[in-house]
Amino acid sequence: MKALVSGGTGLVGRYIVEGLLTSGYRVIVGGRRPPPGGWFSQPVGFVPLLLDPEADQIEAFDDAYFFIHAAFDHVPRKYRGGEGDDPDRFRKLNLDGTVRLFETARKAGTRRAVFLSSRAVYDGLPAGTALTEDLALEPQSLYGEIKLLGETALAALSAPGFATASLRLTGVYGHFTPNKWDGLFADYLAGKPVPPRAGTEVHGHDVASAVRLMLEAEAGRIDRQAFNVSDILVDTRDILSALPDRPHELPSAADRGAINLMSTDKIETIGWRPGGEDLFRETIREIAAAFSPTG
């Protein structure tokens, strides 16, 4: 079946597209420009698709059975604070533009829509809070607020024949190049200060499997629902320790106790299983090898 993926060439979207391709889906990437040649392991289609609340883009959804919305407009390398100095534009594109795409998908006859939300919806909760999907939320970041409002808007559009679900992603890592940790490795090897930092992570392959679950599970089990998608807690010391040759002292271990963990019981109940420490170690060794003199 045909799946339309907005933002399919992005850091997260690329894993989703690859996961769908390897599972036999026909994939159409929607975005501002076509993917570079060879960006994906198999051929994909392309349609122009913008985060524009004024645009009529129903033709982009032609014959699309599924819609996965991964596109997000932000200052490069920043999500929280990604509005820069123009919060009105940030809200218009990422909330109003997103809602318009969901409305268009339903109008076009798309059968399921999946929204990539974020753990930022939990911003502002006190340390020690177990992050479960049933909490009352008032995000303290504009990014988190927009993601939560997007979830709410999508759920409200649910109707017979149009099932909806949101995935609250934590930090997404993986082996594709360019990589989210390229700058961290480069700074460390150059002798620049690397502050201790801990965070929750999930592999892009595991995000892709969560998306496929939203497309393939019985509609009643996912419709109008939000699901946490998280896996391991790591810090910069864990990441950099994968380097075979370390010319500088590693940063000290971060305070992991200050990180609120996301419960994934809800999505695991319907069959999702992340790769855990084994997948992290395998992936980080592959990334680190590219930075070694013999890599």
Q: What's the pLDDT tens digit per position in 30-50?
A: 999 999 989 999 999 999 999
Query: 281 lies in a domain?
Result: no
What CATH number did the domain enclosing 138 receive? 3.40.50.720
- The residue-averaged pLDDT of 83-87 equals 84
Q: Could you read off the pLDDT of 196-236 as tens digits, one per residue?
A: 999 999 999 999 999 999 999 999 999 999 999 999 999 99
The answer, yes or no, to whether residue 295 has pLDDT greater than 60, is no
Question: What's the token pair of residue 111?
Answer: 């059968």
Spatial distance between the Cα atoms of 163 and 137, rounded to a whole number of angstroms = 23
The answer, yes or no, to whether residue 195 has pLDDT greater than 80, is yes
Spatial distance between the Cα atoms of 227 and 211, rounded to a whole number of angstroms = 11
Specify the pTM: 0.95
Spatial distance between the Cα atoms of 62 and 59, rounded to a whole number of angstroms = 5
Query: 125 lies in a domain?
Result: yes
Judge contact between 4 and 26, C-beta under 8 A. Answer: no
Query: Which amino acid is residue 72, in one-letter code?
Result: F
CA-based nearest residue to 48, from 60, 56, 40: 60
The reported pLDDT for the residue numbered 294 is 55
- The residue-averaged pLDDT of 100-129 equals 97
Domain count, the chain: 1
Q: Phi, psi (5° rounding) for residue 117?
A: -95, -160
Q: Phi, psi (5° rounding) for residue 172?
A: -110, 125
* Residue 162 β-bridge partners: 159
The reported pLDDT for the residue numbered 84 is 80
The answer, yes or no, to whether residue 293 has pLDDT greater than 80, is no
Query: 253 lies in a domain?
Result: no
The answer, yes or no, to whether residue 142 has pLDDT greater than 70, is yes
The reported pLDDT for the residue numbered 227 is 98
Count other C-beta atoms under 10 Å from residue 192's C-beta: 11
The reported pLDDT for the residue numbered 42 is 96
Q: Phi, psi (5° rounding) for residue 104?
A: -65, -40
Query: 162 lies in a domain?
Result: yes
CA-based nearest residue to 7, from 67, 79, 83, 66: 67
Mean per-residue pLDDT of the chain? 94
Q: Which domain holds residue 115?
A: 2-171+203-231+262-274
228 CB-contact burial (10 Å; exposed 0-12 / middle 13-18 / buried 19+): buried
